[in-house]
Structure formats: structure tokens, C-alpha cells
Structure 1
């Protein structure tokens, strides 16, 4: 990731920027949508965040965690959008669909069949909205408990308890699946 950011900053590498964009766009779009409930506005907000990064690419070395920076930027842009449009801030991510979220590829998940991945995604969709959001940010997007707590304005203890609850519910929902 650091090589990608260095290429963008020091070489004005548009291909590296496009790669960064493609790597994060859909996750950030889904995150923005959980606030705005508008496909067009969410897409525009995420594009604005990336445009801002490109315009200020000479300062990229000051960003210690690009993942967290992008999420916080999209959250702030979404909240500003809601303030400008006087819309209430929604807290549910129930409108997000499990098929938009992929389980991260690691050696274990490479062994899991598509059918099992579909069952896991369906189980994730059955989680309460807060558990679902925290689960996705920690387990799928790789944010730390502290980063999620800061992003959502909650304590790390709340993140921990919500994640424990999510994992217990998933284990219960997937118990018949795990009998291989």
C-alpha cells in the first residue's frame, strides 16, 4: 500500500491512483450509502474524497493509515451532505446487500466453497444493523477496534461487545453448516 501511495505522491502515477480507487471505491460507497441512503450522492461523495486525495497528493506521506483516513473522510463528507440537505442520520445498514461484500481472501477462505460463502453472507445479513456494521468494518475491512470506535463515535468496549455478539449470532446461525 505504501508503494502505491509513494507512486501517487512522488511520480503523479495515475495508474497507481486508479488502483487505489478500485481497491477502496465499493467499500467506501457502501459506507457512504449507510449514511445517505442515496446511490448517486454516495457515489459523488466518494468520488469527491478521491478527487481531494489526488489534488493533495503531495501531502500523502502525512497520512499514517490510508484505510482509516478514507473512511473518516467519507463519514465526514456524508455527515456534511446530510447537514446540507437536512436529512436525519440513519443508523441502519439493512439496505445493504450481502452479495456486495466479499469475504476476504486468505488461505482458509480459499478452501471454502461458494455455497458456504453464500450462507455466511446470508447469516451476516441477519445480524442487527449495528453488529453488522461493526463486523464488516473489523472483519472485512480490517479496521482496528480503536479505529472503528473513533469512526462511529463509540467506545472500544462497545465495539468489542458488539463484535462478540455478532460472532455468537453467526456461530449459532452457521452451526449446521460447520458440521463438515
Structure 2
């Protein structure tokens, strides 16, 4: 997507639901790394993580007609990725080979939505406790999707300084969530956001 265009997920989802393959590719490009990073952190194998991402996007395409009904796409995509990763982990554990998928890939219960919202609130709490510069850089990276060089240019600081602030912010947020007992997979998902 050209840098001058904003990412309009609702419009992309509507286009994907209408069988627009280019919109699907944009959605794929936007979310691939995030899902891959989460899958890799649990599966510990690059090929299996790539396979999990492919499964998520194949299932997304197969269920594209449901996209207009999805109220919270990020939560829906997380549940699909989570369940795909869990199913892949179950296959790793089983010595016999073939295992039925134990979870529907987009099974979004009210409890899962509540867990998603509670964890997002824990992250917001942790970010609010960060020093002002770290908090600003975290918001520019995760919420506005700016790259480290873009943040550095905007704040007139070195890209290495941006990276250092992001690392310290992520460590502080993870530590806060760990103390509060947040679910690891969801925390990784929410913190992965834009990793540039």
C-alpha cells in the first residue's frame, strides 16, 4: 500500500467479503508479520509458524462472506490465530500424527471477548504508567503504526533511541501484565501490533 494512503480496515473487509483479491492481499500484508510473530513465539519453528499463518489466511478467505458481521475484527482475527496455533501445538504433541482440530478457528465466545477487552485495558494501564517519552513513542509505534525511522524524524531523535524506548516500554508493559496474570498469547498478540 503506498505510504500516502491510510489503512482503512473496514473498507478492506467489505471488499474482501465481495471477493476482492487485491483487498485480501492488502489485509494479508498488513497482518502477516503479527500473526507470524505470535505463532513463532509458541510453535518455536519457522516453517510451522508460516504454516499456521497460511492456515489463518486460508480460513479467513473461506469465511470472507462473514466479515461484514464481524464487530471487532482484531479480536476475531486473534481468536482465529489463537485457535489455529493451539491446534498446531496439539498436532506437535501427538505422536500419532493426524489429530482433529479441537477448536473451531473463529470460535469467539463472550468470555473470549471479555478476556480480550480486559487484557487490552491492562496494557492501557501499563502504558499510562510509562515515562512520557516512552509512552509517546509507544503510541506512535503501536497505535499510529509509524516505523522507528518515522518516529525518530518526527521527534528529532536517533532511530536507536526510538528502539531503546520501545524495548523498555514493551518490557515494562509485559512485566505489568505478568504481575496481573494476563494471558500470554493474547498479550503477545496485542503488543505485537506494528513491529517496524
* Same structural fold, with TM-score higher than 0.5 when normalized by the shorter chain: yes
CA contact (8 A) 2:38 2:189 kept: no
Pick from 42, 48, 56 the counterpart of residue 41 of structure 1. Answer: 48
Check conservation: 1:103, 1:140, Cα contact below 8 A.
Answer: no
Unmatched runs of 5 consecutive residues or more in structure 2: 1-8, 95-139, 179-183
**Structure 1 unaligned blocks of 5 or more:** 88-101, 143-180
Which residue of structure 2 lines up, in the alignment, with residue 72 of structure 1?
79
Deviates more, 1:63-72 or 1:102-111: 102-111
TM-score by length of 1: 0.59
**How far apart in 2 are the matches of 1:61 and 1:54?**
13
- Once the two structures are superposed, what CA deviation does each residue of 1:59-87 show, in whole Å capped at 9, x if it has no partner? 11122111111111111111111112217
Q: Is 1:30 the counterpart of 2:37 in the alignment?
A: yes
Shift of 1:141: 2.7
Would the alpha carbon gap of residues 140 and 85 (structure 1) be closer, same or farther in structure 2, given more than 3 Å must change?
Answer: closer
| Alignment check: 8 A CA contact 2:37 2:192 kept | no
Q: Distance in 1 between matches of 2:191 and 2:39?
A: 18
1:1-180 equivalences under 5 Å are 1-10=9-18, 12-86=19-93, 103-104=141-142, 105=144, 109=151, 110-111=154-155, 112-124=157-169, 131=177, 137-138=189-190, 141=193
Note the aligned Cα RMSD (angstroms).
3.2
1:4-61 CA-to-partner distances (Å, cap 9, x unmatched) read 0001112x11110000001100011111112111111111111111111112211111
Question: Residues 40 and 127 from structure 1, CA distance in 2 versus in 1: closer, same or farther, beyond 3 angstroms?
Answer: farther
Which structure would you say has the larger RCO, counting Cα contacts within 8 Å and 6 or more residues apart? 2
